[in-house]
Structure 1
Amino acid sequence: METTTTTDRQTLPEPDPRQRRFLPQSNHAAEGQRHLMVSLAALVAVVLVSLSIHGVLDGWGWLLNVMFTAAAVLTATAGTRSLRWPPVLSLGAGLLTLAGVLVWQFFRDQSFLGVIPGSQATERLASLLENAETTVASELAPVAPGEGVLLITCAATGLAALLIDTLAITCRMPATSGIPLLAVLSIPAIILPDSVGVPAFTAAAAGYIFLLATGQWRESFESQDQAAHRTAGYLTRAATIGAGALSLALVLPAMVPGFTTGTFPQGSRLQWWTAASGLDPSVTLGNSLREPDGSGRITYATTANEPLYLRLTTLEDFSGRRWHPDQRMDSRRTGIRQMGMSAGLPVGSGNLTTTRIDTRSFTSPWLLAPYAPLSITGLNGAWTWDPGTLTVLSTAGETTARQTYQVISSLPELTPELLAGLGPAEDGEVDAGFSFLPEGLPPVIRQTAVNLTADLTNPYSKAMAIQNYLRGGGFTYSLQAPVEGNYDGTGLEVIGRFLEVKAGYCVHFAGAMAVMARLAGIPSRVAVGYAPGEPTGNTVMVAGKDLPEFAVDSKDAHAWPELYFRGAGWVRFEPTPSRGVVPVYAQQPATPPGLPVEDDLRPDGLSVPDTATSPTPAPGLSGNGTPGTPIPSGVEPGMTVVVLVLLFLAAAPFLIRAARSGGRKRRFLSSNPQLAAGIAWAETTESAVDHGYTPGAAETPRAFTSRLMQQARFNSQAVDSLTRLRHAFEIQMYAAAKVQPVPGTVSPTWADVQEVKRALWGSNTLPARLKARLLPRSLRRRY
């Protein structure tokens, strides 16, 4: 056993001043690596808190854009910091990188080299912002992550990442960096009825705790040696305390009254806009986002002989998982006062009616109007109309809220005999988009359409066959079956599932008829708006006459199909049983008693019809599916991301330690012998620390190696390797540059480091080995 004597200490020369010049560079490199670890923690925190946006944005396709934006910004700041740029320049580099990555993602065709915006970028930006404004104003969460919404999301996330980086690294205030994380988390907390939810809150809190712990770990290196040694366990302690606080936050609401009920229930929203309401034209289903409580009251009075359907917009693109209205900006025109008799109007001019509409709190960029509108007056703001759909859309951010306007429309004069005498639409008579169906159509849709219409040649007969089938006794009007059966959404897969289960509500019936009509050769679309509503008992002066007033609200939200007939234009049908008014030209037997009379595009909140009093069979007795049996859909993409992130966090200590060891080996092999000795000694010491053998604050290398040999019970081969490593390190640290190695000694190699590692591995139990590999203690501080 070797011991350190007084003579040994006295004969050791002072460190070579020429060697000292490497120390500041080494310290700077170590500091840069610690900052890099905090940057990595900031990225993890941003990604984890971004998961909470799921539910505000539909699907998970937006997550990669958000991750790429945050990673680019943090990489830029980390890179400039490693070059020792001033903090202000690092911040500027982050802003420039954020701008560049946004240009590359959203303005590539309007830029130079993909990152420098060109002259057309401003126009593109205005278009994207207008698209985002329309989406936010007209859709309810989860909104479709269109390019405009995605641009704003990426920009906001990138700014949050940059702010977190500045607070946690430049200002050294990792605790304060939770403010931008909280800002991101507040978005779903405000918008979603059930607030953030436990999984998203847990992920966000875990990211914040990881950022705090990493920041504390970095600060432990900035103190004096003894203080740093005392704070070496702060990473573990910070994570433990944070995990305990998180567990308490999750358990406490279930144990203490007042968190889930009372004045301030958990998950209650800060709804500053509760006075406003709207109707989601994308027909998002099954999200419990807008309970049918009668909100969004709209009143109207009309010269028509009966109450009217109020039409908001149409859905004609049946591709994709969600159906959205096409704004058709290329074909829109101004001048809603004189919309005129355009293509798509019913046969002849029809009966002209005048309708006065008071929107009150109803908010949407799409304008409610009875079909087919010819002239609209009294409306504030800039509005456009589309000749193909006769929908009216704002152009400068206006909405329908608190507007009172007058619509002159044409009521068609249609009869079964008239429609039965009309042939199929000719090629080019109507936009091909109204007949298009994407590939991958579920077989049940095609087979059902063939069974219903194969023997029929007349478009009207085909339309009636489809409507009568859907309104027949084989189908049940149900608000809960789509939720329980896991098909509460839009898209062709949903329609296929609906035809199997034979239970749903208005959007399912309308979508099924529209899709099957296209298969039968009839152009079609789905209209979204409101059913006629109920009289209020008041009268309103319209066109010089006192007319009865009607009111609609969220419970009257409805969807219905419109089919195109040559010479007659777009004709409304009503396939939903118990809902709305069946036109005279499409009459079918009366709906059996006992079915509900209300519907909603967001169906949560209304009860399922009482099947005990209804002759309609219960869902699932006919067809291949059964409500309540979810469709096997694989693992949710969001859960996959969460699992991968958690696995990465669990493996992060091992990966960081392995990367550090690999880097040292490369530097050892490429350095001169004097510098290589220090590199090998650092790896040897940290390997010993990982296995529980920590050098004392005042312990010399010789004393430490002697103790390590004895406690770890090294064999002779490991003793020789450790002795060579220690001797070379002592020469590097204490001998002058002119001093040559002792004759007969052998310079250490990396194989000596490996030999010591093997001896340390063999000296421990299996649990200790796993801990050394997966949770290396040396990451708490460098030795």
Structure 2
Amino acid sequence: MTSTLSRPAPAPASAPQAPRRAPSADPWHWAVTGASLLAVLAAASSLNGVVEPWTWLMPVLRTLVPVLLAAALTRALGLGSMITALAGVLALVGALTAQFFPRQALIGVIPGPGTSLELQRLLAQAEETVVSQVAPVLPGAGIFLLVCAALGLIAIVVDLLATTMRMPAPCGLALILVMVSPAIVKPTGVGMFAFIVTVLAFLFLLATAQWRENRLASGGARASSGFAGRSAIIGAAALAVTVILPMFVPGFNSGAFPQGARLNVWGNATGLNPAVTLGNDLRNPTGFGRILYSTNSDNPVYLRAVTLEDFSGRRWEPDERNGDRESDVAEIGAEDGVPGAPADSSPVFTRVSTQSYASPWLLTPYAPVGISNLTGNWAWDPANLSILATDGGSTARQQYLVQSRSSALTREGLGNIGPSDTEAVPDVFAALPDDTPEIVRTRTEEITGEFVNPYDKAMAIQSYLRGPEFEYSVEAPVEGGYDGSGMDVMARFLESKSGYCVHYAGTMAVMARAAGIPSRVAIGYTPGSPTGDTEEGPDGVELSEFVVDSRNAHAWPELYFEGVGWVQFEPTPSRGVVPTYAQQAFSPVGPRADDGNALNPSGLPGATGRTDPATDPTNAATGSQGAGSEGEATPATGLLAIGGVALLALLPLLLRTVRTRSRRKSVAITDVSAGSAGAATAAWAETTEIAGDYGYPLEPTDTPRTFAGRLAHEADLAGEPASSLARLRNAYEREEYAERGAAIGSPGAVTPPVPFHGSGRPGPSGTPAVGTPAVGTLARAVSPPRWDDVDTVTRALRRGSSWSTRIRARLFPQSLLNRFRSDPRD
């Protein structure tokens, strides 16, 4: 009797799935735009120290928020990428107009008549700030206009890359652009705080962008593919590169990036005000801006560029006085209030070769009476004898001859001079602003109160500043936040009693005015070091050659004595030369070898056979620190280099480990809750990549069965490894080819469309061929994948490989050449 098989009942209908979100619906772009805003603001934190800290924050927020809000709204309306970029640019123009051109604006945000003229004025103001102020510069509309415009454009680029183009990784280049200016201007580089917050913000942007991609790919459902781990690896790679790169790129100096490293792209001091770069020059131990000069002077020669007279305001800068200048520098007359040269005085000749030094202010000994062989148009100021280029020229690669005069001053002669007439010099040399700190006045009264003559008062001030309480340091002002000049800076210097020449010179000049002595601050270079060469000067005069560079940059006070003129003093300890008339027996610091009486052979290092470390010119940038400080930095630099190289070497291993852990996690979830989508695919992807790392790559024409059969045969997998490989393959086939909700072999299941491709090769040791479909393999439900099977196959591959293959598979896995993906069939 033949039994009749009943027709199988139809498979139960699967539960209706929730409709997926339309691809155009993308509310998650708002999160990426917000992350872009945070990233740009984090990079902008490096501007602290370029401008006064956090003064830039509100103008930048008032610029970036409207720009990114306009871009996000346009994107939400689905108007296209070009319209989004255009909306961002228009919003930037409107935000800048509302902030910086409110009087010229139409309805508050549209540039109106007069905007171009106001723009030119603000740009000129910004240029003046850049060339005439020392960082951090004072907050001003011109400099903030440039900052806000630049950051607004960078924010548009970052938002387009991360949100519209969905390429967040290149945004790091835009963020680096923000930090270029601080790396150039700030003496300590970008700074660790700004660097760390920028890196964290960039990683957050990467993670947010990947989270958005996962949401879009899953139709809004929650998904995870290890994007946070990948972001951390990218950040580690960026950190390693930034640590190592400055050690091999010319221009980075003074430490490891970002703290202590300064990108020096100019190579020499430039700008309208030599005082701008003075502090940075002194902190640069390499020495640049080389200048040669030859002279027949019997006294050490200071090369003087400008003087600072106006002590009002928060920054001191030279007054150009273009309307009062005389154009003929071949014959320079006497300075205002200064008598002419004595009839019996012999001329001093100095030939100067500027080489790479570039400045619109000419370097000359004081006091010049004539200059020859200059190229360009130059004019001199009768108020201070400063010489300025009037045609936009500079001192670069000039070689000129200066004739000057010097007075034979004595302590006794200066001590017999009484207080000067108030009308002897212009008021600017004697005026004290109303905001002069009380500590300046009280300390001056304590020091000079018992003296009457200007000379005695001046010597009391100089002796006080050169006393044991004060210390020369180029770092203390930076750490204490009083670098540069200004009345508040002088007050903080008197409290901390540590600083460099600008602070000593400025403080003595201010205290001299408080004591009734007209004063000013000269900016230039100390005498430098002799080269040992000589050359012939005018009328056969022999000129001895000296060299100076940025390490000799200096500031010193000049005080006015009626009937004599302007007299130089030296209050800075361990720097410069104390003139003979200003020396006292109890002076604690003597002349330095390089800047002392270098014309006297007994003052040279070779005369004694030894050099005082405190006077070594290579240590001029660090004050009293010896050569040991440089040696102490070498091990740290070496450790950083070794650590960076090690991090780069281990980077492939870290990337591979992160990917493996992400896949292990997805399979572990399956062990608890069977049926989680993607688990078998993740396990199979890990298996095929591990096999490729050990020399058994997945070919483009391979099906799961042909690959499994070839791997079992070539790697000699038998026993438990072969069974594990078969289970991984079966789970993958089921997940990839079976209908969702139906087990393979159950009614309604679909047989996987995989070709045979010769997969019936016998397995090793008599085991069934892994690639051969066993009867009922697809006719029964396959258990969820287990990570133990992946580990079993991995251990078998490792045991069957040579030690070199094992090292290559761990440290340089071939699977990293493939892009991050979950589907191995690509």
TM-score interval, smaller chain? 0.5 to 0.7
Question: Judging changes above 3 Å, is the alpha-carbon distance between structure 1 residues 98 and 543 closer, same or farther for their aligned structure 2 residues?
Answer: farther
Instruction: State the partner residue of 1:348.
Output: 340
Give me the whole-angstrom Cα distance separating, in 2, the residues matched to 1:110 and 1:347.
53
Instruction: State the partner residue of 1:172.
Output: 166
Instruction: Determine which of 437, 446, 458 is the counterpart of 2:441.
Output: 446
Instruction: State the partner residue of 1:246.
Output: 235
Deviations, residues 168-213 of structure 1 (Å, cap 9, x unaligned): 3333333333331232234445666765454322211222222223
Deviations, residues 501-529 of structure 1 (Å, cap 9, x unaligned): 65554333322211211211223222121
Give me the whole-angstrom Cα distance separating, in 1, the residues matched to 2:267 and 2:398.
15
Deviation at 1:101, TM superposition (A): 4.2
Instruction: Determine which of 514, 524, 540 is the counterpart of 2:519.
Output: 524
1:120 aligns with 2:113: no
By relative contact order (CA 8 Å, sep 6+), the higher-ranking structure is 1
Deviations, residues 647-667 of structure 1 (Å, cap 9, x unaligned): xxxxxxxxxxxxxxxxxxxxx
Instruction: State the partner residue of 1:18.
Output: none
Deviation at 1:310, TM superposition (A): 0.8
Give me the whole-angstrom Cα distance separating, in 1, the residues matched to 2:589 and 2:435.
40
Give me the whole-angstrom Cα distance separating, in 2, the residues matched to 1:119 and 1:54.
30
Instruction: State the partner residue of 1:570.
Output: 566
Instruction: State the partner residue of 2:530.
Output: 535
Give me the whole-angstrom Cα distance separating, in 1, the residues matched to 2:519 and 2:294.
29
SS for the counterpart of 2:622 is: coil
1:581 aligns with 2:570: no
Question: Judging changes above 3 Å, is the alpha-carbon distance between structure 1 residues 259 and 348 closer, same or farther for their aligned structure 2 residues?
Answer: closer
Deviation at 1:561, TM superposition (A): 0.7
Give me the whole-angstrom Cα distance separating, in 1, the residues matched to 2:582 and 2:179.
50
The 5-angstrom pairing of residues 676-691 of structure 1 reads none
Question: Judging changes above 3 Å, is the alpha-carbon distance between structure 1 residues 589 and 578 closer, same or farther for their aligned structure 2 residues?
Answer: farther
The 5-angstrom pairing of residues 96-135 of structure 1 reads 96-102=90-96, 115-116=111-112, 117-118=114-115, 120-121=117-118, 123-124=120-121, 127-128=124-125, 130-131=127-128, 134-135=131-132
1:605 aligns with 2:622: yes
The 5-angstrom pairing of residues 374-393 of structure 1 reads 374-381=369-376, 383=378, 385-393=380-388
| Contact 2:380/2:388 (8 A) holds in 1 | yes
Aligned-residue CA RMSD (Å): 4.6
| Contact 1:281/1:325 (8 A) holds in 2 | no
Deviations, residues 540-571 of structure 1 (Å, cap 9, x unaligned): 34434342222222332221112234454433
What is the identity, as a one-letter code, of the residue corresponding to 1:267?
Answer: F
What is the identity, as a one-letter code, of the residue corresponding to 2:364?
Answer: A
Give me the whole-angstrom Cα distance separating, in 1, the residues matched to 2:67 and 2:372.
50
Deviations, residues 276-329 of structure 1 (Å, cap 9, x unaligned): 3569833678779733344332111235443321112233454566x4423446
Give me the whole-angstrom Cα distance separating, in 2, the residues matched to 1:161 and 1:327.
39
What is the identity, as a one-letter code, of the residue corresponding to 1:583?
Answer: P
Deviation at 1:47, TM superposition (A): 0.6
Question: Judging changes above 3 Å, is the alpha-carbon distance between structure 1 residues 407 and 450 closer, same or farther for their aligned structure 2 residues?
Answer: same
Give me the whole-angstrom Cα distance separating, in 1, the residues matched to 2:123 and 2:479.
42
Give me the whole-angstrom Cα distance separating, in 1, the residues matched to 2:495 and 2:60.
38
Give me the whole-angstrom Cα distance separating, in 1, the residues matched to 2:103 and 2:326.
28
Give me the whole-angstrom Cα distance separating, in 1, the residues matched to 2:103 and 2:519.
34
SS for the counterpart of 2:338 is: coil
| Contact 1:354/1:542 (8 A) holds in 2 | yes
Give me the whole-angstrom Cα distance separating, in 2, the residues matched to 1:566 and 1:277.
35
Deviation at 1:480, TM superposition (A): 7.2
Deviations, residues 235-287 of structure 1 (Å, cap 9, x unaligned): xx434432454367658999xxx789789995397968475356983367877
1:36 aligns with 2:30: yes
| Contact 2:269/2:277 (8 A) holds in 1 | no
| Contact 2:309/2:429 (8 A) holds in 1 | yes
| Contact 1:376/1:405 (8 A) holds in 2 | yes
| Contact 2:290/2:547 (8 A) holds in 1 | yes
Instruction: State the partner residue of 1:70.
Output: 64
Instruction: State the partner residue of 2:295.
Output: 302
Instruction: Determine which of 203, 214, 228 is the counterpart of 2:219.
Output: 228
Give me the whole-angstrom Cα distance separating, in 1, the residues matched to 2:421 and 2:522.
20
Question: Judging changes above 3 Å, is the alpha-carbon distance between structure 1 residues 290 and 159 closer, same or farther for their aligned structure 2 residues?
Answer: same
The 5-angstrom pairing of residues 12-27 of structure 1 reads none
Instruction: State the partner residue of 2:308.
Output: 315
Relative to the length of structure 1, the TM-score reads 0.62
Count of aligned pairs between the two proteins: 577
Q: Percent identity?
A: 41
What residue ranges of structure 1 are gaps of 5+ in the alignment?
1-5, 16-22, 611-695, 698-783
The 5-angstrom pairing of residues 168-317 of structure 1 reads 168-189=162-183, 196-223=190-217, 227-229=218-220, 232-233=223-224, 237-243=226-232, 245-246=234-235, 267=257, 273=265, 275-277=267-269, 281-282=274-275, 290-317=283-310
Instruction: State the partner residue of 1:61.
Output: 55
Instruction: Determine which of 541, 546, 549 is the counterpart of 2:545.
Output: 549
Instruction: State the partner residue of 1:360.
Output: 355
Deviation at 1:354, TM superposition (A): 3.9
Give me the whole-angstrom Cα distance separating, in 1, the residues matched to 2:333 and 2:141.
35
What is the identity, as a one-letter code, of the residue corresponding to 2:148?
Answer: C
SS for the counterpart of 2:523 is: strand
Give me the whole-angstrom Cα distance separating, in 2, the residues matched to 1:476 and 1:197.
28
Give me the whole-angstrom Cα distance separating, in 2, the residues matched to 1:111 and 1:333.
40
Of 203-212 and 178-187, more deviation after overlay is shown by 178-187
| Contact 1:477/1:595 (8 A) holds in 2 | no
Deviations, residues 673-717 of structure 1 (Å, cap 9, x unaligned): xxxxxxxxxxxxxxxxxxxxxxx99xxxxxxxxxxxxxxxxxxxx
Give me the whole-angstrom Cα distance separating, in 2, the residues matched to 1:38 and 1:577.
56
| Contact 1:596/1:609 (8 A) holds in 2 | no
Question: Judging changes above 3 Å, is the alpha-carbon distance between structure 1 residues 283 and 175 closer, same or farther for their aligned structure 2 residues?
Answer: closer
What is the identity, as a one-letter code, of the residue corresponding to 2:503?
Answer: H
Of 94-103 and 176-185, more deviation after overlay is shown by 94-103
| Contact 2:300/2:577 (8 A) holds in 1 | no
Give me the whole-angstrom Cα distance separating, in 2, the residues matched to 1:410 and 1:571.
13
| Contact 1:332/1:384 (8 A) holds in 2 | no
| Contact 1:425/1:522 (8 A) holds in 2 | no
Question: Judging changes above 3 Å, is the alpha-carbon distance between structure 1 residues 579 and 276 closer, same or farther for their aligned structure 2 residues?
Answer: closer
Instruction: State the partner residue of 1:463.
Output: 458
Give me the whole-angstrom Cα distance separating, in 2, the residues matched to 1:449 and 1:590.
20
Give me the whole-angstrom Cα distance separating, in 2, the residues matched to 1:580 and 1:147.
39
Question: Judging changes above 3 Å, is the alpha-carbon distance between structure 1 residues 375 and 159 closer, same or farther for their aligned structure 2 residues?
Answer: farther
SS for the counterpart of 2:420 is: coil
Give me the whole-angstrom Cα distance separating, in 2, the residues matched to 1:485 and 1:207.
26
Relative to the length of structure 2, the TM-score reads 0.59
Which protein is bigger by CA-based radius of gyration?
2
Deviation at 1:376, TM superposition (A): 4.1
The 5-angstrom pairing of residues 707-722 of structure 1 reads none
SS for the counterpart of 1:370 is: coil
